[in-house]
Amino acid sequence: MCIFCDIIDHKIPSAVVYEDEKVLAILDISQVTYGHTLVMPKKHVRNIIEADEESVLACVSVAKKLAAQIVKNTKANGVNVLTNCGEAAGQSVDHLHFHIIPRYDENDAIELKFNESPKQDLAEVLKTVKG
């Protein structure tokens, strides 16, 4: 059982921002910031790595349009568009979704911070990343 599949099937109510044959966008129940929206494929796929390209591209295309619409209508100063993949990355619902999180100022309820970290040998990192 998947809570987002139940939302897509209208078994669980949601606040629908956008819907087409492949994609559903709803208000996130937590509203981390005002207007926080989730964009998900109607097909059940666990995350961005496991998903087929068509599902990802359909969601990204809708997320791009909605990000612009939401920023305009909420008068936000910016927006984070992100997807969490895997428990270690904070994914709590195993159905691919993109968060659209309008940003108002540095004191709003979300903090994405790139902390100081040890220097890396980029040549070595590149070798690992490219496999």
Known catalytic residues are 97
Work out whether 91 is an interface residue with ligand AMP (CB under 6 A). Answer: yes
Q: Which does 110 bind (CB under 5 to 8 A by kind): ligand AMP, Zn ion, none?
A: none
Contact 95, 4 (CB under 8 A): yes
Sole window of 27-35, 72-80, 102-110, 119-127 interacting with ligand AMP (rule: CB under 6 A)? 27-35
Q: Name which of 2 and 89 has its Cβ closer to Zn ion.
A: 2
Minimum separation from the CB atom of position 58 to ligand AMP (A): 18
Element (H, E) at 53: helix 53-74
E strands, the chain, where?
16-19, 23-27, 37-41, 78-82, 98-103
Among 90, 116, 121, 128, binds ligand AMP (CB under 6 A): 90
**Paired strand residues for 24:** 19, 40
Amino acid letter for position 58: A
Instruction: Give the residue among 6, 93, 13, 12 at the shortest CA–CA distance from 46.
Output: 93
Minimum separation from the CB atom of position 91 to Zn ion (A): 13
* Dist CA 86 CA 42 (whole Å): 19
Among 18, 28, 80, 103, binds ligand AMP (CB under 6 A): 28
The residues that touch ligand AMP, with contacts defined as CB under 6 A, are 3, 12, 14, 26, 28-30, 38, 84, 90-93
